[in-house]
Structure 1
Amino acid sequence: MKHIIIIGNGIAGITTARHVRQQDDTARITVISAESEHFYSRTALMYIYMGHMTYEHTKPYEDWFWKKNRIELVRGYVEQVDTDARRIRLNDDTWLAYDALVIATGSVSSTGNWPGLDSTGVQGLYGLPDLESMGHHTSNIDRAVVVGGGLIGIELAEMLHSRHIPVTMLVRDTHYWSSTIPAEEGELIRRHVRRHGVDLQLKAELKEILADEAGHVRAIVTTDEREIACQFVGLGVGVTPNISFLKTSGIELGKGVLVNEYFETNIPDVYAIGDCNEFRVPITGTDGSPRKAIEQIWYTGRMHGETLAQTLCGNRTAYQPGVFFNSAKFFDIEYQTYGTMNAKLAEDEQTYYWEHPNGQQCLRINYEAKGEGVVGIHAFGLRLRHAVCERWIREHCPLPEVLSQFQQADFNPEFSENYTNQLQGKGPLRKNWLQRLFSTAN
């Protein structure tokens, strides 16, 4: 009987286990995780803190699901991977032999190297232990500081704001999320975050964290020598692959576990999927654009698991992602992005940008300067149909065609304002043509 060991019970690892079981009724499947007894939705952590959900609500499957499907759940850390003997050692010195090993250990929060990081009340937000720690260390505090303005940073700010804890956000860039979005969108989000009462400070960097005599954070100091009193510091400076336990395993590592398009490592029958893997050669999406070597996104982890299960069950299958997609939320502004949307245009690209007069909705479409084929779309405060946007990008539909058919992508709630009829161009487009195409009447 083939024994498949999966290290990690996140979306990538559990999807692999489920899909292997669907195809193979005889394999022994063991999932190892020290974080929690059962798989839960990591993206729902913030809603537990905010009181909208309980931990039980975040578990997609009943607790009996695992036994019924003969998926063994082991609570523990993997401390050693012995690829020569095809076995792993747990933190209680138990050894488990495998026929196939799947590394799906996800990420850990990046921490930087600032003085005072070891102070009590300083942490990131990635898993259930972080949530429990945050709940404990933010009880009855006067102020919090969030370092970093990415998606984790904005989640931390919203969580703290929901408990009426004053928050200061330090963002070192000249505009919000400058590594990902252009200045116009960054300004829209900056206004929105500040409208919610968050003290968002741009061009502001952390220098050190100060602790009191008991070792608990009492303040931070910025690089321009300003001291801000606080009792909690949330680190929203990103995540990094969780691979430190593999350093002596013989498995080749870069920033993540290095794999090919089949998720195969340099060691036979050892695979890596999800947040912790890194493609040696970037994978190309169905629109022809290269994807990132490391993609730490929920839905790609699920796709990794579905694809790898095919290989583990004897049908060696390469990973073939579609058009890039992601979504997030900035307080109550929803964000969607499709295709290639860099903060700065490539030399052969031009852009179309529309922003509602209320400053809370915007749309950007990047397109090829030659031929006007659309390469990327992102929207703030608008809901777009995934299949429609994906098709436009995959087929490189010309911008005029996309704009004339944009009603097809409108997925805003019934009776909400019709933004489609208000679109108007800014930038290097034929302004008169656009004015004829769209009504700007409110």
Structure 2
Amino acid sequence: MNSNRHVVIIGNGIAGVTCARQLRKLDEKVRITLVSGESKYFFSRTALMYVFMGHMKFEHTQPYENWFWDKNRIELKEGWVKSIDFAAKNLLFQSGEDMSYDELVLATGSKPNKFGWAGEDLQGVQGLYSKQDLELMEKNTQEGVKRAVIVGGGLIGIEMAEMLAYKKIPVTILVREKGFWGNILPKEESGLVGRHIREHHIDLRLNEELEEIISDPNARVKAVKTKSGEEIQCQFVGLTAGVTPNIDFLRKTELEVNRGVKVDFGFRTNIKDVYSIGDCAEFHEAPASDRKHVEQVWYTGRMQGETLGHILAGHNVTYQPGVWFNSAKFLDIEYQTYGHVPARWDTGQVKSFYWEHPVGKVAFRMLMDLNGRILGVNNFGFRLRHEFFDQAIREGWDGDRVISKLDKANFDPEFFAPYYIAIQQAFKNQFGGDFTISKKTFIQKLFGASV
């Protein structure tokens, strides 16, 4: 492979940056350029909320020092790409500049969904994804905001609600499902999160949808109208009903696109020497039976970037995503999920075990097939080890084995009560099992925990 070639990566999020770093590790000669109009330097997108709340400065969200890129000979080009001439292998920037490439990686990420609501483009109405969105939110909430309305639940919605609440701005969340994140979480977990949100004085409206956003005489939002007919006065509206691949400038070209840029498991598009990874990529076929065609999660972006880095360095590999994993926070409740735990399942095909602590903020669910083999886990309010469940699901452990070894999965036992003991007892009460619940008295004395 010609190492004097020029690889251009559009997008400096986790997928694009990981690809650049991996390729540089494997090839010392290839020229690499990272292109981004959003920011010159890579930053942690999940930390934007802490910048808004004043806990961090924006530069603190950048995990690499500015000299890192020169040292690793990764060129940074700040600018928005207007169009691509795939035949000539050339990028045209909005500034009028252009750039040639030998191989191109499209890692342009996502943008907040809009569904054609009346008033969705008014001042004071926005999503939250990019650095520019953060800057706009800071401007839109500086003064005169007596109430905010967030349209849509999920992870971005709860982050935005926490940001607004921190600044003492009352918040109403409109969620069309009958439970918070009800298309992802089972009923019990959704109920736990919903209760927690309301306990933080956030006005959570379930089974409610946006009808229109109403303007004042200055083309700024003054209220929203719901489909039930209620009018809620507000001066800020957050649109957090999911995200979609950021590929509008790639449509109406010879590149094959659908929701995202269509790729195979080597991230190849229908155009030679053009690849796509991260939030904007869409697989022709889902990577696994429990995976989606578009994977918009931080850790899958990192895995895709690593894999493509190997491919661009000449290695014969394909994307092997492994066991599904995600983590997040609902206000101060930590959430982890491993494997396949859908919002609903056929009780004739799946066995479910669910335990919830009496305080209502800690919970554990495990799904098993009819033979008792683990399918997936949801965990709320305390941490469990990723590698433990990755191995258990990959190797198809019986539920008994998983529960009997749950103490091995306990993360930071100094800071987390031994909930696994109560989980073990509840599992044994429901399903039986020949394992013993050991060390209970010792651990209770050690931690002073009531389980």
Q: TM-score, normalised by structure 2?
A: 0.93
**Which residue, out of 139, 158, 161, partners 1:157?**
161
Counterpart residue identity of residue 235, structure 2: Q
1:266 aligns to 2:278 (yes or no):
no
- 1:431 match: 430
After TM superposition, list the pairs within 5 Å mapping 1:388-427 onto structure 2: 388-423=388-423
Matched-pair identity in %: 49
CA distance in 1, matches of 2:222, 2:382: 40
CA distance in 1, matches of 2:239, 2:331: 18
CA distance in 1, matches of 2:253, 2:91: 10
After TM superposition, list the pairs within 5 Å mapping 1:74-223 onto structure 2: 74-140=77-143, 141-223=145-227
- 2:239 match: 235
Counterpart residue identity of residue 333, structure 1: I
3-state secondary structure, aligned to 1:336 = strand
3-state secondary structure, aligned to 1:154 = helix
Deviation of 1:244 (Å): 0.9
- 2:51 match: 48
CA distance in 2, matches of 1:297, 1:158: 21
Deviation of 1:343 (Å): 0.6
CA distance in 1, matches of 2:137, 2:381: 29
Distance of aligned partners of 1:228 and 1:425 in 2 relative to their CA distance in 1, 3 Å threshold: farther
- Give a deviation string over 1:173-199, Cα, whole Å, max 9, x none: 111111111111111111100001101
Deviation of 1:214 (Å): 0.9
Contact 2:43 2:63 in 1 (8 A): yes
User: Gaps (5+ residues) in structure 1?
Assistant: none
Deviation of 1:94 (Å): 2.1
Deviation of 1:430 (Å): 5.8
CA distance in 1, matches of 2:94, 2:415: 57
- Give a deviation string over 1:106-151, Cα, whole Å, max 9, x none: 0011022111111100000001000000011111211111111111
CA distance in 1, matches of 2:339, 2:425: 20
- Give a deviation string over 1:293-324, Cα, whole Å, max 9, x none: 11101111111111111111111320111210
Deviation of 1:424 (Å): 6.4
Contact 1:425 1:434 in 2 (8 A): no
1:246 aligns to 2:245 (yes or no):
no
CA distance in 2, matches of 1:102, 1:267: 11
Deviation of 1:291 (Å): 1.9
CA distance in 1, matches of 2:208, 2:252: 39
Counterpart residue identity of residue 359, structure 2: N
Q: What root-mean-square deviation, in Å, do the aligned CA atoms of Structure 1 and Structure 2 show?
A: 1.9
CA distance in 2, matches of 1:382, 1:61: 29
Deviation of 1:432 (Å): 7.3
CA distance in 2, matches of 1:407, 1:426: 15
Contact 1:101 1:270 in 2 (8 A): yes
3-state secondary structure, aligned to 1:215 = coil
Contact 1:352 1:425 in 2 (8 A): no
- 2:312 match: 312
Deviation of 1:397 (Å): 0.6
- 1:277 match: 281
Distance of aligned partners of 1:210 and 1:435 in 2 relative to their CA distance in 1, 3 Å threshold: farther
Deviates most, 40-49 or 242-251: 242-251
Distance of aligned partners of 1:139 and 1:118 in 2 relative to their CA distance in 1, 3 Å threshold: same
- 2:301 match: 301
CA distance in 1, matches of 2:88, 2:434: 70
Deviates most, 227-236 or 402-411: 402-411
Contact 1:207 1:222 in 2 (8 A): yes
3-state secondary structure, aligned to 1:105 = coil
CA distance in 2, matches of 1:39, 1:213: 40
- 1:256 match: 260
Contact 1:354 1:424 in 2 (8 A): no
- 2:352 match: 351
CA distance in 2, matches of 1:305, 1:235: 29
Counterpart residue identity of residue 123, structure 1: Q
CA distance in 1, matches of 2:313, 2:245: 26
Deviation of 1:86 (Å): 1.6
3-state secondary structure, aligned to 2:177 = coil
CA distance in 1, matches of 2:435, 2:250: 61
CA distance in 2, matches of 1:225, 1:415: 47
Contact 1:147 1:170 in 2 (8 A): yes
Deviation of 1:290 (Å): 3.9
Distance of aligned partners of 1:133 and 1:432 in 2 relative to their CA distance in 1, 3 Å threshold: closer
3-state secondary structure, aligned to 1:186 = helix
Contact 2:400 2:435 in 1 (8 A): no
3-state secondary structure, aligned to 1:159 = helix
3-state secondary structure, aligned to 1:169 = strand
- Give a deviation string over 1:364-387, Cα, whole Å, max 9, x none: 000001x11001001111210101
- 2:447 match: none
- 2:64 match: 61
- 2:366 match: 365
CA distance in 2, matches of 1:210, 1:177: 26
3-state secondary structure, aligned to 2:17 = helix
- Give a deviation string over 1:210-255, Cα, whole Å, max 9, x none: 1111111111111111111111001110100011111133110011
Structure 1 runs of 4+ aligned residues shifted over 6 Å read 424-427
